[in-house]
Structure 1
Amino acid sequence: MNMTSTTQDSLFSPEAVYISSATSQDELFSEIAAKLLARDFVKPAFLDNLMQREKDYPTGVDMSVVSADYPNIAIPHTEGEFVNVRKIVPIKLLTPIDFGNMIDPSQKFPVSFLFMILNNDPEGQANVLAQIMDFLTTTNHNQLLAFFKSKDTNAVYQFLNSNFNK
């Protein structure tokens, strides 16, 4: 596959969709970073940089402004020099974890779903973030509710592959 492609197929990989029972950011980031490193999606320094960036620039998104029914999400990411691919890694949390608010970093709230951005293209980070927000605000309400509740990685992948960026 051409890695510079911007089709939705290149943004999601069936083997990079996770369900996590982690109960803290550190545990979650360590678990996912190890899996991504094993696939050569990220570089060894990814974890430390991801954790530091999340502390400095929180990525929690209060979804109640879109719908009171949606869980809050986070969109963690780090600089492109620490990743090898351009992907969005969906992560369903079985237990909500507190994240700082992207808009007001002093505010924390529980997050239940993450869209981790891996982007080795420094120009494309904002574009991917915009695509995620577009997906969250334009996807059918009931379908998105079912998506957020899913605990099947294949179903999560299939839904994103079918509904993202269309």
Structure 2
Amino acid sequence: MSATVKGELIAADSVMCRVRAGSRDEVLKLAADHLKQAGYVTDGFFQALLKRENMFPTGICFGDTCVAIPHAEPGFVRKPVMLIMTLERPVRFVNMEDCEAEIPVEIVFVLAFTDSEKHLNVLQRLSALIRDSGTAAALREAVDQEELREVLRHSELAEFWRD
């Protein structure tokens, strides 16, 4: 099964709203722990996320919205998922376009795929979502999990929603 099959990647338990974190590493740890507890990933996912983020930074800005799209090797993934996490306050991530600079990330999309070749469609949809300033603002401004879920259900990522 492809990692981009309709209804496969986003579920109620893969959305986290207004998370408090003080650093990039804390964001990655919270995400990995959440995904592990929900049964999506195995032990080692956090270390794999951290290692890859150190080698290939994933922070990127589109207009007023700065996001990070961390991911790890498929060997640590039990079931494909995309975790969407909004942050209460921006956290510094290294800019993928300038590894000497950090940017204030407000939204994190953690990709956990069982096949690293099947993510192109997801990245294209993510890019469209982030470039849509109205949707990006709605994601940033969501006050709770349900509001964030509703924004996602009506966004470029809607086809990946699993109810």
| Short-chain TM bin | 0.7 to 0.9
For 1:1-166, what aligned pairs fall within 5 Å after superposition? 6-7=5-6, 9-19=7-17, 20-64=19-63, 70-137=64-131, 139=132, 141-165=133-157
Larger fraction in helix: 1
TM-score (norm 1): 0.85
Measure the CA separation in 1 of the matches of 2:4 and 2:156.
Answer: 15
1:49 partner SS: helix
Larger fraction in strand: 2
Q: How many aligned positions are there?
A: 157
Q: Deviations over 1:62-102 (max 9, x none)?
A: 122xxxxx331111111111112222111011111111111
Measure the CA separation in 1 of the matches of 2:151 and 2:89.
Answer: 22
Measure the CA separation in 1 of the matches of 2:117 and 2:150.
Answer: 27
* Identity between Structure 1 and Structure 2 (%): 25
Which has the bigger relative contact order, CA under 8 A and spacing at least 6?
2
TM-score (norm 2): 0.86
Contact 1:58 / 1:105 at 8 angstroms: preserved in 2?
yes
